[in-house]
Amino acid sequence: MAASKKTSSRVAPRKIYQLLVALDDIQPSIWRRIWVADTLTLAKLDRVIQAAMGWTNSHLHEFEIDGQRYGIPDDEWPDDNPPLDETRARVGRVLGDDVNEFTYLYDFGDHWHHSVKVEMRMLPNEINLWPMCLAGKNACPPEDVGGTGGYMEFLEAISDPTHKEHVAMWRWAGGPFDPQGFDINATNLALRSLET
């Protein structure tokens, strides 16, 4: 008896978006350049951004695209303008040919605001069909560091052995922290492990 071939129910992408994701309000700039297919849902785009930036998906997030909010609707949290369900919105539909920038907010407490620019729209080929990070700069801040202000204080303390909070920050971070550290190989390994 011949083994049956597993058929894929995935729709082939018609367009690949090259996105530049940059964390706002921090210098030097923390950014990633990624490829994503038009067939990805915004929920999966969230996972791609999380993996590319270095976040751990520990908090809520939201997209704002062309004046519309997308995220995880919560019936238990009253909202006069709830976000649309990100699992039902595909990248190609919400970006189309006209949207050239949008925002991604991660962690409503620390308020990590990312500006996302559509740098290029391409036809799919054998190397751009899956999410990939092409380039990036600087390390993602640690989770729960306290937003931009907390991150600046953290960097000051962890980089100065004479700072009164140096040892506490070293312990909290689990050791040394390199704010310029970015490993494209590790980033793409994390992206390959996603189910997109």
Average pLDDT score over residue span 40-54 = 97
Model confidence over 100-110: pLDDT tens digits?
A: 999 999 999 99
CATH 3.10.290.30 fits 16-139+182-192, yes or no: yes
Tell me the pTM: 0.91
Instruction: Give the percent of the chain with pLDDT over 70.
Output: 93
68 φ/ψ angles, rounded to the nearest 5 degrees? -120, 140
Question: Residue 91: pLDDT above 50?
Answer: yes
Strand partners, 118: 19
Average pLDDT score over residue span 77-97 = 91
User: Which token pair is 51?
Assistant: 């993996």
Strand partners, 71: 85
- Domain boundaries for CATH 3.10.290.30 within the chain: 16-139+182-192
**Binning pLDDT at 50, 70 and 90, where does residue 4 land?**
very low
Gap between the Cα atoms of 30 and 136, Å rounded: 7
For residue 33, which of 15, 50, 19, 16 has the smallest C-alpha distance?
19
Question: Residue 176: pLDDT above 50?
Answer: yes
